[in-house]
Amino acid sequence: MLSSLPLSLLFSALFQFQKVSASGASYTVSIPPAAPTNAIEVPADFFGFGYETAFLPHFDNAFSENMVNAIGSRMSKPLIIRIGGTSGDLVKVDLEQKEPAICVKGPSCPLSSQDTFTLGKAYFEVFKKFPNASMTIQAPMGDGMEMNNTMAYVRNAWQNLGHDRVAAIALGNEPNYYSWNAEEYVRHALEVESNITKEFNLQGEEARIFELGDIANDAAVSGNKYDITQVFDDHIDQNSQGKFAAEHYYQLNKNLAVYNEANLQQHVMNHTAILEHLASYEKSMQAVHQHHANLSFVLSEVGSVIGGGPTNFSGGFGAAIWAADFHLAAMARGIKRVSNTQRPEASHAFWIPDNSGPKTGRPVVQGIFPAAPFVADFVGKDASLGKVVELGVNGQGLFTAYAMYGLHSEKIERVALVNLQQWDASSKTTRGNKTVTLSVGNGVKSAVIRRLHADQGWSALGYDLGGAQENVTWAGEQWTYAVDQGMGHFPTGSMEQESVAVNGTVKVSVPDTEAVIVFFE
């Protein structure tokens, strides 16, 4: 079993048979024609979104439905939306209340995830929306939370969602911030698990529905009270009702004095930094698998930047290049899902759903968004689902390559190339590029190349925020609120892709701050 072997060993084994050379601005990458034994099967529902609990009603609109469908329609399983977060442990259910959600207290009512909201019947009606998606629900827990309120939230969410669309139920959120120690948390969590199991009469395989952990970003490193290993050692999965084990991930999880170009390159658009940060999650995943070899390890709350920073830093096209590389690096290490979290005023959000975001005051799609269809298309759909490996490229942490093989054919289907080298039009310099020669063997005759592109470079905010000079596209398609309400459109009138003949090798040029997928035919 893969999960029982140290992944780092498998990766170094892979590097040994990759013939890789880097000279100036060109790389040669030999792609094993058949799937290497360490290639990892990628779940059809790898890509996900997340809405912070109290802000769910803000996403109750056609625009958000369109945004979710834009990605869900590229997937062969329902996209999973995680409804959860810090606010999910503070909410109070009041079915008599007319409004969906009212902020009653908190540090920046009604904007922050640390504010307390009361939820009315109309809040729970929103669980009927997004019929093509599934959702994970969070059972509210933590200091001062009463069991009747926990159960009222889960009951009303479940009834409106319908059993089939409940992807999982999380037992609280970031429990390593509760006043309880790990053992006390586990005791409370198992009581909630037991009450939910009884309430919905869950039996057999149906009872395996809980998401365990939801540990705060980087607990494994920062030792934030306790980490996921501790809750598993304290027998959180003693009833074998765990479906997912989860942790939270922000690429930049501290505040910086300045959010400038150099810091974006150093902390975010940087594969070495991504791998350094992912290493602690690989440890968590191994610890979880020692307890339960089959438990899927997911990142249930993910963002580029947890704290401040302007939108061109956290939610612009530079962040899209980060997201492209991060998702592929995560899937190649056996992580089973990434939920990209959102709240109307978060700068790292993929879209701002309504006019409540104080930074914009209107609905917008952010520059990071086209990373979502890029990742979904790399994962593939139906017969094109596959197994992934990261390919070794000596790109100094600023250039990466990933290969996807057919699940059954074992043949090379797609290669993704990500050029994280920063470039922006405001620099008035010529945009550089890397020329990659992919050596693919004789089984492949032709390929098409599609690009994740912005003329402006890393600071592009997308059409809604930046205007026509800051368009961001995937294969020539753009998603905006202003032009298409999230349906997607082609500014040049049609999809953009380049067809190339392949005779053993194929040459691809990847401009700085761009990512491409080569689809082999």
Ligand X SMILES: *[C@@H]1O[C@H](CO)[C@@H](O)[C@H](O)[C@H]1NC(C)=O
Q: Does 73 interact with ligand X (rule: CB under 6 A)?
A: yes
For the four alpha carbons of 144, 150, 153 and 156, in that order, the dihedral sign comes to negative
Among 38-46, 173-181, 350-358, 463-471, the segment contacting ligand X (CB under 6 A): 463-471
Closest to 242 measured CA to CA, from 295, 173, 280:
295
Q: Does 156 interact with ligand X (rule: CB under 6 A)?
A: no
Q: In this chain, which of 270, 296, 341, 513 binds ligand X, going by CB under 6 A? A: 270
Tell me the closest approach of the beta carbon of residue 327 to ligand X, in angstroms. 18
Cβ proximity to ligand X, 246 vs 269, nearer residue: 269
Helix (H, G, I), strand (E, B) or coil at 296: strand
Tell me the closest approach of the beta carbon of residue 502 to ligand X, in angstroms. 9
Rounded to whole angstroms, the Cα distance separating 90 from 106 reads 10
Q: In this chain, which of 294, 408, 428, 493 binds ligand X, going by CB under 6 A? A: 294
Q: Does 43 interact with ligand X (rule: CB under 6 A)?
A: no
Cβ proximity to ligand X, 41 vs 191, nearer residue: 191
Rounded to whole angstroms, the Cα distance separating 66 from 300 reads 22
Tell me the closest approach of the beta carbon of residue 460 to ligand X, in angstroms. 9
Q: How far is CA 410 from the centre of its chain?
A: 26
Q: In this chain, which of 33, 106, 307, 310 binds ligand X, going by CB under 6 A? A: 310
Tell me the closest approach of the beta carbon of residue 328 to ligand X, in angstroms. 17
Phi-psi region of 382 (alpha: psi -120 to 50; beta: other; left: phi over 0): left
Q: In this chain, which of 6, 362, 503, 507 binds ligand X, going by CB under 6 A? A: 503
Tell me the closest approach of the beta carbon of residue 227 to ligand X, in angstroms. 21
Q: In this chain, which of 224, 266, 409, 437 binds ligand X, going by CB under 6 A? A: 266
Among 104-112, 333-341, 365-373, 502-510, the segment contacting ligand X (CB under 6 A): 502-510
Rounded to whole angstroms, the Cα distance separating 234 from 186 reads 7
Among 115-123, 147-155, 225-233, 345-353, the segment contacting ligand X (CB under 6 A): 147-155
CB atoms within 10 A of CB 325: 28
CA distances to 39, 46, 84, 490 from 50, rounded to whole Å, are: 28, 13, 7, 27
Tell me the closest approach of the beta carbon of residue 495 to ligand X, in angstroms. 14
Q: Mask: binding to ligand X, 423-462, rule CB under 6 A, as x and -?
A: -x-x------x-------------------------x---
CB atoms within 10 A of CB 181: 14
Helices (H), 234-270: 261-263
Q: Does 296 interact with ligand X (rule: CB under 6 A)?
A: no
Helix (H, G, I), strand (E, B) or coil at 136: strand
Q: Does 273 interact with ligand X (rule: CB under 6 A)?
A: yes
Q: In this chain, which of 280, 471, 485, 513 binds ligand X, going by CB under 6 A? A: 471
CB atoms within 10 A of CB 482: 13
Rounded to whole angstroms, the Cα distance separating 159 from 224 reads 35
Q: Determine what percent of the chain falls in helix, strand and coil, rounding each to the nearest 5.
A: 30, 30, 40
Number of residues that bind ligand X (CB under 6 A): 40
Tell me the closest approach of the beta carbon of residue 156 to ligand X, in angstroms. 9
Among 39-47, 53-61, 65-73, 168-176, the segment contacting ligand X (CB under 6 A): 65-73
Can the peptide bond before residue 110 be classed as cis, meaning omega within 30 degrees of 0? yes
CB atoms within 10 A of CB 201: 8
Residue type, 149: N
- What tokens were used for 42? 């990628």
Q: In this chain, which of 29, 91, 135, 152 binds ligand X, going by CB under 6 A? A: 152
Cβ proximity to ligand X, 103 vs 147, nearer residue: 147
Among 146-154, 342-350, 383-391, 404-412, the segment contacting ligand X (CB under 6 A): 146-154
Rounded to whole angstroms, the Cα distance separating 417 from 451 reads 10
E strands in 152-289: 166-171, 210-215, 242-252
Phi-psi region of 474 (alpha: psi -120 to 50; beta: other; left: phi over 0): beta
Q: In this chain, which of 183, 184, 206, 276 binds ligand X, going by CB under 6 A? A: 276
Q: Mask: binding to ligand X, 84-103, rule CB under 6 A, as x and -?
A: ---------x----------
Residues that bind ligand X (CB under 6 A): 25, 65, 69, 73, 93, 131-132, 146-149, 151-152, 191, 194-195, 265-266, 270, 272-273, 276, 293-294, 310, 312, 397, 424, 426, 433, 459, 463, 468, 471, 478, 483, 491, 503-504, 509
